[in-house]
């Protein structure tokens, strides 16, 4: 089933007051009629993008631009949909035009734009360009929608393929090396036949005067409308069960259960899920017997460590493969005892160059020779291991750091659960519940995705105010480690109060 997404710039496919059905509206409606209706009828839907979403969109645009260089002499149609419709018609009729970029199609209120159309054996080869490096099932529906609309407009599509980003591409190589092409003709043309009968139904559902009544489906779990739709007024939704899989969800949904309180006793769940259910039933917080023991393994001084990274389709630096996670900054708070900070160290790379070696040397220096390194999740260990693989001269010293890592999230997951976590122990879920005094809202960057995008924009020279961004990035990362210091302190206080020490 499709992931429900916001609209994107390609969805500016309108010639009338009522939006035409675009690819994203169609795919959203396929997954959930309510979402399809909202995507088409709610003017505000998808209007606000996070920095991370905007960056991914810009990246897709750049990858699309480079893909066009693979088809010299092609005709690029206008951004204006009405103009593009006319230009596409002219280009299709002009035998001298070998390929068309962003070709526009409109029929019976269904609109589409094709990334690339190339003449092939008397018909047309449809090429979908993605800034992803891995093929995904959902791309078949993407291509099938475009092929379906273009086909209804009379285009003979005899070949369909996907251009993905090649992991072998390195900065400075010619554009053709950026792509790998995968033929999907058979799957897409088969899927077109499956989608065709839904055409009329989706048109009617998405333009109905009333929003279709929502129905709880597994996709609701990740739907951005969940809080105002199926999750509205439900404090302990079954989606708060950690790692609730589709099969277990279906069992609960078949029983008509959407609240944890209503799960019958004896219903088969994992140990962790049972803990969450118990906490809800008893309206209590879970504190595990092992909390004291596990925290007592921390040796002092403790160093609380957090990294930020950047990961882009087109590498920012030479000799870096697409989608490599490049560490760009860290924050370290040092405490000689719990809650007492006696040092803060930070590093933020110069975006104009690959600073990984410099970052690693600073890190080794800042983390000292002994004492626990406290991280939250396995991410910091993975980044240090990656640096060790990249920098043989520093490998021993870097790997020695990983021996000192204590993963605070693992300790929390095993020993502490508060209903406010809603099934997740991620720091962004735990912090507002236990450490509300830390205020991310007061700085310009609030989550890792935006931090990564902000850094990438600086590296690409597209940030109008890099000084402010640097300040925000440093503040953001510093808050992450400060949160860990306070969380550790909170947990120690809990042990004292529960008499475990």
Give the residues lining the site for ligand SF4 (CB under 6 A).
4, 32, 34-35, 214-215, 217, 219-220, 223, 225-226, 229-230
133 SS3 class? coil
Backbone phi, then psi, for 131, in 5-degree steps? -85, 10
Closest approach of ligand SF4 to the CB of residue 426, in Å: 21
Closest approach of ligand SF4 to the CB of residue 38, in Å: 6
Residue closer to ligand SF4 (CB basis): 44 or 289:
44
Residue closer to ligand SF4 (CB basis): 365 or 424:
424
Contact criterion met (CB below 8 Å) for 401 and 394:
no
CA-closest candidate to residue 168, choices 390, 324, 386, 322? 322
Contact criterion met (CB below 8 Å) for 453 and 54:
yes
Residue closer to ligand SF4 (CB basis): 1 or 159:
1
Closest approach of ligand SF4 to the CB of residue 3, in Å: 10
Contact criterion met (CB below 8 Å) for 2 and 138:
yes
User: Is the bond into 294 cis (omega within 30 degrees of 0)?
Assistant: no
CA distance 192 to 27: 13
Closest approach of ligand SF4 to the CB of residue 206, in Å: 12
Strand partners, 187: none
Residue closer to ligand SF4 (CB basis): 221 or 413:
221
Residue closer to ligand SF4 (CB basis): 80 or 232:
232
- The CB density around residue 284, as the number of other CB atoms within 10 Å, is 12
Closest approach of ligand SF4 to the CB of residue 236, in Å: 17
CA-to-CA dists, residue 319 to 171, 192, 353, 495, angstroms: 7, 40, 12, 49
Copy the structure tokens of residue 164: 């993905």
Closest approach of ligand SF4 to the CB of residue 111, in Å: 22
CA-to-CA dists, residue 27 to 4, 192, 209, angstroms: 8, 13, 20
- The CB density around residue 255, as the number of other CB atoms within 10 Å, is 12
The length of the chain is: 501
Residue closer to ligand SF4 (CB basis): 135 or 219:
219
Residue closer to ligand SF4 (CB basis): 42 or 194:
42
Closest approach of ligand SF4 to the CB of residue 262, in Å: 19
């Amino acid at each position: 089933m499709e992931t429900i997404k916001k609209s994107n710039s390609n969805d500016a496919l309108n010639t009338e007051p009522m939006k035409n059905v675009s690819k994203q509206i169609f795919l959203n409606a396929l997954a959930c009629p309510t979402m399809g209706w909202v995507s088409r009828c709610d003017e505000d839907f998808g209007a606000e993008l996070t920095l991370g979403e905007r960056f991914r969109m810009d990246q897709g645009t750049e990858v699309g631009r480079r893909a066009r260089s693979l088809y010299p002499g092609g005709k690029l149609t206008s951004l204006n949909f009405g103009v593009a419709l006319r230009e596409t018609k002219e280009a299709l009729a002009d035998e001298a035009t070998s390929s068309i970029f962003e070709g526009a199609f409109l029929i019976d209120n269904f609109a589409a734009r094709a990334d690339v159309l190339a003449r092939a054996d008397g018909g047309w080869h449809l090429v979908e360009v993605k800034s992803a490096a891995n093929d995904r099932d959902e791309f078949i529906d993407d291509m099938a929608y475009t092929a379906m609309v273009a086909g209804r407009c009379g285009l003979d599509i005899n070949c369909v393929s996907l251009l993905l980003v090649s992991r072998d591409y390195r900065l400075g190589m010619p554009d053709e090396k950026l792509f790998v092409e995968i033929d999907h003709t058979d799957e897409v043309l088969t899927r077109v036949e499956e989608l065709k009968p839904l055409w009329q139904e989706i048109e009617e559902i998405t333009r109905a005067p009333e929003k279709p009544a929502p129905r709880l489906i597994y996709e609701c779990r990740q739907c951005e409308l969940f809080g105002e739709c199926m999750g509205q007024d439900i404090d302990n939704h079954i989606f708060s069960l950690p790692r609730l899989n589709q099969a277990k969800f279906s069992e609960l949904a078949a029983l008509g259960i959407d609240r944890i309180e209503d799960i019958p006793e004896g219903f088969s769940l994992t140990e962790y899920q049972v803990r969450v259910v118990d906490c809800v039933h008893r309206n209590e917080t879970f504190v595990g017997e092992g909390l004291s023991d596990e925290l007592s393994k921390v040796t002092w001084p403790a160093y609380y460590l957090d990294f930020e990274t950047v990961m882009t389709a087109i590498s920012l630096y030479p000799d870096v493969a697409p989608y490599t996670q490049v560490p760009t900054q860290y924050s370290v708070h040092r405490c000689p005892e719990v809650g007492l900070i006696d040092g803060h160290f930070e590093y933020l790379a110069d975006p104009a160059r690959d600073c990984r070696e410099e970052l690693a040397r600073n890190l080794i220096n800042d983390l000292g020779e002994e004492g626990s390194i406290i991280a939250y999740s396995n991410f910091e260990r993975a980044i240090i291991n990656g640096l060790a693989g990249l920098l043989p001269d520093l490998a021993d010293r870097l790997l020695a750091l990983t021996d000192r890592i204590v993963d605070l999230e693992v300790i929390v997951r095993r020993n502490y659960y508060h209903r406010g976590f809603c099934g997740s122990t991620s720091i962004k879920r735990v912090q507002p519940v236990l450490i509300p005094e830390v205020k991310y809202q007061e700085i310009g960057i609030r989550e890792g995705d935006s931090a990564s995008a902000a850094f990438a924009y600086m590296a690409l020279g597209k940030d109008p105010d890099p000084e402010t961004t640097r300040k925000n990035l440093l503040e953001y990362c510093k808050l992450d480690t400060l949160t860990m210091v306070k969380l550790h302190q909170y947990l120690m206080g809990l042990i004292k109060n529960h008499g475990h020490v």
